[in-house]
């Protein structure tokens, strides 16, 4: 039974709503973000629960009429209504089981997506550029904002590395499945013999950390400023606007030079550093869950090949669930929802099976 905890969730939701109306909350951006995420998480559960309560009230009335009404025609109408409402009740219970599955606290966060060329030389860099464009287009389709924080390009349109910030509700919940090794099989534009090559690119997806989640002590940072290199305007290349931040306790290094302003480059570098530190902490805190998660949809580790883009066969193979998807050009244009939905469904099915097994064991 899932109902006993639903009333408490509804009370929590009402308390969050009340907190959001307080004047002091409106003056606290951190509290607004925290309460907004909690409302977004609880809202769908409470909405489904209240619909379930309404349907059950209607169902009780329809059953009363079916069992005690003297008019045969009204009894037949009541029977049909009982059947319809019973199906609606079952459907809502199924939805609530999914909504009550273990929740990733990062799901509603903005994200940092890091795409890097892997094995395959210039062809790998060209593939990394296509993956970068795919995620930008996916963000546009969902009306999220996408901004490249740092880009290292090659001479013929490829990308050695790009760091992309995606802002929008649910960005992490959808794109967290993209982390891992992506493989492409095709005839490169640089290949004169018509041979199919295999190249790779790696993708890392990090939830963006709020300052209150990851406190960085300035004493633990080494900040170097230097002159930007590569393409850029006069002020980019002739002033010490580039920033390199080294986090001394972990050895993490972030370098940003895309902006003309040293201040903006530093702010971007700190955003990336916080996300990487949060990811390190998350991996430590959830090490015990890694095996269970990997058995469902894969761990997302960079060493794990998650997907193959086969151009000659117009096919994308998602290795974690053993599924093939076609219309490769559309997928590279950001049409990823069918693929991501399949991964979400597989994860949910794994959780439901685990819960059913746990229930059977008790």
* 104 falls within a domain: no
Q: Are residues 90 and 232 in the same domain?
A: no
* 261 falls within a domain: yes
Q: Are residues 116 and 197 in the same domain?
A: yes
* 265 falls within a domain: yes
Query: Which pair of tokens denotes residue 241?
Result: 């606007």
Q: Which of 252, 284, 316 is the last residue of a domain?
A: 284
Cβ burial of 230 (10 Å; 0-12, 13-18, 19+) is exposed
Q: Are residues 206 and 263 in the same domain?
A: no
Q: Are residues 22 and 90 in the same domain?
A: yes
* 53 falls within a domain: yes
Domain of 356, CATH number, reads 3.30.70.1660
Domain of 17, CATH number, reads 1.20.58
76-90, 130-144, 160-174, 279-293: the lowest-pLDDT one = 279-293
Which is more confident, 210 or 95?
A: 95
64-68, 82-86, 290-294: the lowest-pLDDT one = 290-294
Query: Which pair of tokens denotes residue 47?
Result: 């909405």
Q: What is the pLDDT of residue 160?
A: 94
pLDDT at 169 > cutoff 50: yes
Domain count, the chain: 3
Distance CA 80, CA 243 (A): 70
pLDDT at 209 > cutoff 90: no
Q: Which of 99, 124, 156 is the last residue of a domain?
A: 99
Distance CA 228, CA 164 (A): 19
Which string of b and e fits 290-313 if b means at least 16 CB within 10 Å? eeebeebbbbbebeeebbbbbeee
Q: What is the pLDDT of residue 230?
A: 57
Q: Are residues 208 and 315 in the same domain?
A: yes
Out of 95-99, 283-287, 288-292, 354-358, give the one with best mean pLDDT. 95-99
**pLDDT cut 90: percent of the chain above it:** 54
Q: Are residues 278 and 313 in the same domain?
A: no
Q: Are residues 323 and 206 in the same domain?
A: yes
Per-residue pLDDT reduced to its tens digit, 15-35:
999 999 999 998 888 888 888
pLDDT at 301 > cutoff 50: no
Angle 111-116-120 from CA coordinates, rounded to 5°: 155
Q: Which of 71, 99, 127 is the last residue of a domain?
A: 99
Cβ burial of 33 (10 Å; 0-12, 13-18, 19+) is middle
* 178 falls within a domain: yes
Q: Are residues 58 and 147 in the same domain?
A: no
Domain of 228, CATH number, reads 3.30.160.20
Please, how many CA atoms are within 13 Å of residue 192, restricted to the half-sphere of its CB?
Answer: 0
**CA dihedral sign, ordered 273, 275, 280, 285:** positive
Mean pLDDT value of segment 262-278: 90
* 226 falls within a domain: yes
pLDDT at 313 > cutoff 60: yes
**The CA-based dihedral angle spanning residues 202, 163, 196, 191, taken in that order and rounded to the nearest 10 degrees:** -140
* 106 falls within a domain: no
Q: Please, where are the H alpha helices in the chain?
A: 6-20, 23-26, 29-68, 72-99, 121-141, 171-175, 234-238, 262-285, 290-297, 328-332, 337-361
Closest CA to 98 of 53, 45, 40: 45
Q: Are residues 244 and 326 in the same domain?
A: no
Q: Are residues 140 and 266 in the same domain?
A: no
Q: Are residues 203 and 234 in the same domain?
A: no
Q: Which domain holds residue 244?
A: 218-284
Q: Are residues 251 and 305 in the same domain?
A: no
* 311 falls within a domain: yes
Secondary structure of residue 316 in the 3-state scheme:
strand
Distance CA 87, CA 95 (A): 12
Which is more confident, 242 or 357?
A: 242
pLDDT at 292 > cutoff 50: no
On whether the CB atoms of residues 86 and 152 are closer than 8 A, the answer is no
């Amino acid at each position: 039974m899932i109902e006993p905890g639903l009333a408490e969730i509804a009370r929590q939701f009402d308390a969050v709503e009340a907190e959001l109306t307080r004047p002091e909350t409106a003056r606290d951006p951190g509290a607004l973000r925290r309460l907004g995420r909690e409302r977004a998480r609880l809202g769908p559960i409470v909405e489904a629960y209240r619909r379930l309560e309404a349907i059950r009230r209607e169902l009780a009335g329809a059953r009363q009429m079916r069992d005690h009404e003297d008019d045969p025609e009204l009894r037949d109408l009541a029977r049909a209504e009982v059947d319809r409402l019973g199906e609606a009740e079952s459907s809502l219970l199924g939805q609530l089981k999914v909504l009550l599955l273990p929740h990733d606290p990062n799901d509603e966060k903005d994200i940092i997506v890091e795409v890097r060329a892997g094995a395959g030389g210039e062809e790998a860099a060209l593939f990394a550029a296509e993956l970068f464009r795919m995620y930008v287009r996916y963000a546009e389709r969902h009306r999220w904002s996408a901004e490249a924080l740092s880009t290292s390009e090659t001479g013929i349109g490829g990308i050695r590395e790009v760091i992309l910030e995606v802002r929008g509700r649910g960005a992490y919940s959808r794109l967290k499945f993209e982390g891992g090794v992506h493989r492409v099989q095709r005839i490169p534009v640089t290949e004169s013999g018509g041979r199919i090559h295999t190249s790779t690119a790696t993708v890392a997806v990090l939830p963006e950390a709020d300052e209150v989640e990851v406190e960085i002590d300035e004493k633990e940072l080494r900040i170097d400023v230097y002159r930007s290199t590569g393409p850029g305007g006069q002020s980019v290349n002739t002033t010490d606007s580039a920033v390199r931040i080294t986090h001394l306790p972990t050895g993490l290094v972030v370098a940003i030079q895309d902006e003309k302003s040293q201040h903006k480059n530093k702010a971007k570098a700190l955003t990336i550093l916080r996300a990487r530190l949060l990811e390190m902490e998350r991996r430590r805190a959830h090490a015990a869950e890694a095996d269970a998660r990997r058995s469902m949809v894969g761990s997302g580790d960079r060493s794990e090949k998650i997907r193959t883009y086969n151009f000659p066969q117009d096919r994308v193979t998602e290795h974690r669930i053993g599924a093939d998807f076609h219309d490769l050009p559309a997928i590279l244009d950001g049409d990823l929802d069918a693929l991501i939905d399949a991964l979400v469904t597989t994860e949910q099915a794994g959780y439901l099976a685990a819960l059913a097994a746990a229930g059977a064991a008790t």
